[in-house]
Amino acid sequence: MNKALHAVVFDAYGTLFDVHSVIGCCEQLFPGQGESLSRVWRSKQLEYTWLRSLMGRYQDFESVTRAALTYSCKTLGLALSDRAGQLLMQEYRQLRPYSEVPTVLPSLRIGSLTILSNGSPDMLHALVRNAGLESLFHAVLSVDAVRVFKPHPSVYQLIVDRLGARREDIVFVSSNYWDASGATSFGLRAFWVNRTGAQPDELSHAPYASLSSLDELPSALAAL
């Protein structure tokens, strides 16, 4: 592995943790609508982060996620009770890690592993704690510190400031192409985890490399 490599930084939602593991709870509450609700919810959640960043009207990720849930239920004609809303929001604090995460992360022989996420601090720490992954991470960083969402450059600057490393000595890993592209634009070496074989977005900065799962990360890092 490249001796200059200082840290590997991971996105959380969709990269380490499966956002669609909420489908089970969605289905229990709204039979026959679980998958649709999960997918509309995630899509609107991301859209709201970008819109709020563009408007300069930051709200934390928990508030954005709740607003996206409300919208999604209204769109699908689902009556969202207070109890159902609480249960679904709690699901975001206990999302299931992807199957390879518990084995791949401990195998990475690197100075530090870090999370950089849109998530609110309370949401992220609960998520990592509930998954039993706390001991693996040097730091868990939230956009809350700069009050703007990815892919704004100031978010990726958080990594440099916290780790005290050069941009080119940091690897960033995300399943979201727009996030990996944003990190590449900033100057990080970004790996895109493309689990679904999705078509890359037509953005000006392509990630350093693509992986089909995190299982491929150790060998990819060794090849740097």
Q: Are residues 62 and 40 in the same domain?
A: yes
Same domain, 11 and 65: no
Q: Is the pLDDT of residue 2 over 60?
A: no
Model confidence pLDDT, tens digit, residues 176-193: 999 999 999 999 999 999
Given a cut of 70, whether residue 143 has pLDDT beyond it is yes
Please count the structural domains in the chain.
2
In a domain, 1, yes or no: no
114 and 8 in contact (C-beta within 8 Å)? Answer: yes
Query: What is the rounded end-to-end Cα distance, in angstroms, of the chain?
Result: 6
Output the six-digit token pair for 168: 């080119």
Same domain (yes/no): 136, 111 = yes
- Which ranges of the chain would DSSP assign to H, the alpha helix? 23-29, 34-55, 61-76, 82-91, 101-107, 121-130, 153-163, 177-186, 217-222
* Residues 217, 169 share a domain: yes
Query: Do 111 and 214 belong together in one domain?
Result: yes
Residues 164, 70 share a domain = no
Residue range(s) defining the domain that contains residue 125: 7-16+98-222
Please determine, for residue 4, whether its predicted confidence score (pLDDT) is greater than 70: no
Residue 139: is its pLDDT beyond 90? yes
pLDDT, tens digit (0-9, with 9 covering 90-100), for 11-65: 999 999 999 999 999 999 999 999 999 999 999 999 999 999 999 999 999 999 9
- For the chain, the average pLDDT equals 95
Residues 172 and 69 in one domain: no
Together in a domain, 65 and 170 = no
Note if 11 is an active site residue: yes
Q: Where are the alpha helices (DSSP H) in 108-152?
A: 121-130
pLDDT of residue 224: 84
| Per-residue model confidence (pLDDT) at position 223 | 87
Domain of 155, CATH number, reads: 3.40.50.1000
pLDDT the model gives residue 109: 78
Question: Is residue 3 scored above 60 in pLDDT?
Answer: no
Residue 2 lies in a domain: no
139 sits in which H/E element? strand 139-142
Q: What distance in Å separates the CA atoms of residue 111 and residue 77, rounded to the nearest whole number?
A: 49
Total count of residues recorded for the chain? 224
Domain CATH number, residue 82: 1.10.150.240
Calpha distance 46→39 (Å, rounded): 11
Q: What is the DSSP string of 20-60?
A: GGGHHHHHHHSTT-HHHHHHHHHHHHHHHHHHHHHHT----
The CA angle 35-36-39, to the nearest 5 degrees, is 85
Quickly count: other Cβ atoms within 10 Å of residue 48's Cβ: 19
> Cα-flanking dihedrals φ and ψ of residue 59, to 5°?
-130, 150
**For the segment 71-130, what is each residue's pLDDT rounded down to a tens digit?**
999 999 999 999 999 999 999 999 999 999 999 999 997 768 999 999 999 999 999 999
- Of 11, 18, 144, 179, which one is the catalytic site residue? 11
